[in-house]
Structure 1
C-alpha cells in the first residue's frame, strides 16, 4: 500500500483514533494504485491493529502480485468523485 501513487496530499498530523497518544503524519492524504484509493492513515491502522481488509481489495492486490500497476491517471474524473467521498 505504501508503493501506491500519492493523488491528494494533506499536510499535518492527525490523532490515531485507537491510541490518542499516537499521531499519523498526513493521515487524510490519498494514495492509489489506479483502481483503488485509500487514505494514508489506513496503512497505519493495518500495520498497528487487527483491522479487517475487504476481500475484494485483497484479491486485487494479490492479483497484481503485491505491486501497484502504476497506471494512475489523476485527470480521470472518477478520481474527483472518489476524492469527494473522503472530504
Structure 2
C-alpha cells in the first residue's frame, strides 16, 4: 500500500525531531500561486481522518489560536493537518507542484471515498499526528 504524502506539514508542528519535514521559516515563497484559494478550499474539503480537540497557537503570528490544529484530513493520496490549511491560506508558503497538479486535476474536489481501515491509519497516517 503506498504511503500518503504530506502537504503543509512542518517540523515545528511536532515536539520531537522530524528532519524529513520542511522548516516553516524556510518554506516562504515569492511565487504567486494564482489558484491558492481554490487549493485551500480543496484542503478544507478533505476527508477528516483523525480528530484531535486541541487548539494550538499560530506558530508564525503567535496571536491566533487554531482549533483542532493537529486533526488530520486526506484525499487518500495526500495528508495534511487542520493547521496546515491555516498556514497555507494565511502565509505565502510554498505548495509542492505535485500537490497543485493533483488538486487541479481533480477540479479542486477531493475524493471523499477513501478506503480507510485501522491498518491503513497505522501504516500511512499515524506518523502525522
- TM-score normalised by the chain length of structure 2: 0.62
Cα distance, 1:38 vs. partner?
0.7
The answer for the alignment partner of 2:67 in structure 1 is: 25
More strand by share: 1
3-state SS, counterpart of residue 61 of structure 1: helix
The answer for the alignment partner of 1:72 in structure 2 is: 114
3-state SS, counterpart of residue 44 of structure 1: helix
**Structure 1 segments unaligned to the other structure (5+ residues):** none
3-state SS, counterpart of residue 80 of structure 1: helix
The answer for the alignment partner of 1:45 in structure 2 is: 87
The answer for the alignment partner of 2:8 in structure 1 is: none
Give the root-mean-square deviation of aligned CA atoms: 1.4
Between the aligned partners of 1:75 and 1:14, the Cα distance in structure 2 is 28
Between the aligned partners of 2:76 and 2:122, the Cα distance in structure 1 is 13
CA offset digits 1:10-37 (Å, max 9, x no partner): 0020011001111100011000112111
- TM-score normalised by the chain length of structure 1: 0.90
3-state SS, counterpart of residue 52 of structure 1: coil
Cα distance, 1:49 vs. partner?
0.4
The answer for the alignment partner of 2:47 in structure 1 is: 5
Q: Which has the higher contact order (CA 8 A, sep 6+)?
A: 2
